[in-house]
Amino acid sequence: MTDHLSETEVSLFRERTIGPAERERIDSHVAQCNSCLHRILPSEDTALVYSELTEALLPDSADEPFHLLTAELRRYADGSIDQADRVIFESHFDICAECRDAVASLAASSPVESVSSSARPAEIAAQQFYPAWSASQFTPARAAAVGLVVACLVLAFVVWRRWHSRAVDQTAQQASSQTPTNTPGTGSPTPAPTESTKDSITNQFAVSASLEDNGRKIQLDNTGKLIGLEELPEASRSLVRSVLVNKTLSKPEVLDKLTAPSITLMDPTARENTFGLLGPSGTVIATDRPNLRWQALPGASSYTVSVFDADFNRVTRSAPQTATQWTSPALRRGMIYSWEVVAVRNGQEVRSPVAPAPRAQFKILEAEKLLELTSLKKHKPISHLTLGLTFARFGLLIEAEGQLQILARENPNSAVATRLLRTVQEWSKR
C-alpha cells in the first residue's frame, strides 16, 4: 500500500477540481485504502447509504417479510444479473429460506451441467450457494455474520460508486459544454473556415495564463497543461491548475466557523471604555503556541489573558502583566479556541471582547497539514504561487497574503495575481 492521500488531494477530489488522470489514480487508491475512503466520503452520504441498506436488508420486525420478485429470482437463476446485484441477492438468501427455496426450484427446472438432474431442489440450492460448506457447518450465527460482512461490503461499494459516478458525470458535462455538437446526416455542407475560425485553430494551444514566480515562468495552456512546476507533488500542481483555470480561490469552510458578522452599536459612546484585540482572530495559525496581542487601554495597570476551548472551558490563563501581548503554552492541534483579555483600571475590570462584538477565535493547524507545508517549502526555488494558494486553502490568511503579495509584485500587470491577493485580503477583513 502506498502512502495515504494528502489533505490537498482529499480536498481537491471532494471538490472535483482535478483532472481525469489524477482522479483515476485516487480512485485506484481508495479502492484499496479504507482509511482514505472514509476521509473522502462526507459523513452525510455514508449515513444516507447505510440507512438505505438497513431498510433494504434488515427490515423492521413489525413489517411484512420482504421477498424477491419471481422475475428477479429467475434472473439470478439463469445468471443474467451483474456482480453488485448478485452480492445483494445472496445476502438476502442467507436470511430468507423462502427465497432460497424458490430460487432452488427455478434452478432445478433448468439444471446446470455441473449439477446432477436427479438431485433434489434442496441439494441444488446447497451446491449453488454453499459449495464449500456442509450442512453441519451452516449455523444461524454464521449466517448472521455473513450477512453483516456482505452488508458492510455493499455499503462501501455503493457509497464509492455514488461518488465515482458523480465525478464521471461532472467530467462528461464539462466536456459536452466545451465541445460543439455535430449532427450527422443532415446533409448540410460544412461551412468554409473563416478568418476568425483560423485564428481560433491557431490559438488552440495558446497560453491562457502566465505568471512569473520566483525567477521562473508558470504557464497554463488552453488544454489545461501546467508548465513550470514539474518538481512539485501532483496534488500541489492540481491546486495551481484549478485556481488558474477558474481565476479565483474558494474560501475554506473553517474561516466561516471562525468569523461572525460585525454589529454596529447605536450609542457611539458605548466603545469608549473598551480596547481591541489585534489577533489572532478569524484565522488558522501554524504554531501551537499562539502569540496573543491587543491594544493598550489608557490608564490600565495590568492585563490578564484567558484562552477557552469550543465548549467555553478555560484551558489556560496568564498571570497579571503590563505588556500588551502574551504567548500561550502549547495547545492541541486541530482545535478551535477563543480568547479574551481583562484589563484592570482604577480597581475595575474592563473586558475585551464584549457583546455585541463576536468572540475572538482561531484554529491550530492540523499536524498532517503542517507536514505538507513543511515538505512544500523544501522545494527550491520556493513557488510563491503554490505556497500562497496552499496557505489560503488551509486558512492561514497572514501567510497566504504574504506569499501572494510577493507574487503580485513580480506580476504588476497580471489581473490573476491581483485578484488572488485581493480575495485573501477580503477574507481577512471579515
pLDDT digits (tens, 9 = 90+) for 98-111: 888 888 887 777 65
Among 340, 363, 386, the domain boundary falls at 363
CATH number at 323 reads 2.60.40.10
Integer Cα distance of 54 and 63 in angstroms: 13
Do 408 and 315 share a structural domain?
A: no
Integer Cα distance of 352 and 342 in angstroms: 6
Residue 117: the pLDDT is: 40
% of residues, the chain, pLDDT over 90 = 40
Do 125 and 55 share a structural domain?
A: yes
Instruction: Give a yes or no: residue 50 inside a domain.
Output: yes
Integer Cα distance of 95 and 114 in angstroms: 26
Q: Examine the pLDDT at 96 and tell me if it is beyond 90.
A: no
Instruction: Give a yes or no: residue 119 inside a domain.
Output: yes
Report yes or no: 345 and 297 within 8 Å, Cβ to Cβ.
yes
Task: Indicate the burial class of 372 (C-beta count within 10 angstroms; 0-12, 13-18, 19 or more).
Answer: buried
pLDDT mean over 225-240: 91
Residue 248: the pLDDT is: 84
- DSSP H or E stretch at residue 271: none
Do 389 and 338 share a structural domain?
A: no
**Residues 11-38: tens digit of each pLDDT:** 777 666 666 677 777 777 877 787 777 7
Residue whose cell numbers read 489514480: 25
Do 149 and 78 share a structural domain?
A: yes
Instruction: Give a yes or no: residue 193 inside a domain.
Output: no
For residue 324, the tally of other CB atoms under 10 A from its CB is 17
Instruction: Give a yes or no: residue 180 inside a domain.
Output: no
Do 142 and 87 share a structural domain?
A: yes
Instruction: Give a yes or no: residue 346 inside a domain.
Output: yes
**Residues 364-399: tens digit of each pLDDT:** 999 999 999 999 999 989 999 999 999 999 999 999
Residue whose cell numbers read 471582547: 353
Torsion of CA 125, 130, 136, 140, to 10 degrees: -90
Residue 82: the pLDDT is: 74
Instruction: Give a yes or no: residue 109 inside a domain.
Output: yes
For residue 397, give the DSSP letter: H
Angle at 421 between CA 223 and CA 259, to 5 degrees: 115
Q: How many domains does the chain have?
A: 4
Do 138 and 51 share a structural domain?
A: yes
pLDDT mean over 311-315: 94
Sign of the Cα torsion 218, 219, 220, 225 reads negative
Do 131 and 50 share a structural domain?
A: yes
Do 356 and 412 share a structural domain?
A: no
pLDDT mean over 63-84: 75
Residue 332: the pLDDT is: 96
Report yes or no: 350 and 301 within 8 Å, Cβ to Cβ.
no
Among 139, 154, 169, the domain boundary falls at 154
pLDDT mean over 121-148: 46
Task: Write b or e for each residue in 87-121: b if 16 or more Cβ atoms lie within 10 A of its Cβ, otherwise e.
Answer: bbbbbbbbbeeebbebbbebbbeeeeeeeeeeeeb
Do 236 and 307 share a structural domain?
A: no
Instruction: Give a yes or no: residue 263 inside a domain.
Output: no
Do 241 and 294 share a structural domain?
A: no
Report yes or no: 73 and 106 within 8 Å, Cβ to Cβ.
yes
- DSSP H or E stretch at residue 239: helix 234-246
% of residues, the chain, pLDDT over 70 = 65
Residue 72: the pLDDT is: 81
Angle at 327 between CA 375 and CA 336, to 5 degrees: 65
Do 359 and 347 share a structural domain?
A: yes
Q: Examine the pLDDT at 230 and tell me if it is beyond 70.
A: yes
Instruction: Give a yes or no: residue 281 inside a domain.
Output: no
Residue 127: the pLDDT is: 46
Do 137 and 56 share a structural domain?
A: yes
List the domain range (segments joined by +) for residue 422: 367-429
Report yes or no: 396 and 285 within 8 Å, Cβ to Cβ.
yes
**CB proximity list for 250: less than 8 A, separation 6 or greater:** 15, 393
Residue 113: the pLDDT is: 42
Among 130, 154, 178, the domain boundary falls at 154
Q: Which amino acid is residue 76, in one-letter code?
A: Y
pLDDT mean over 232-260: 89
**Residues 195-219: tens digit of each pLDDT:** 554 444 444 456 678 999 999 999 9
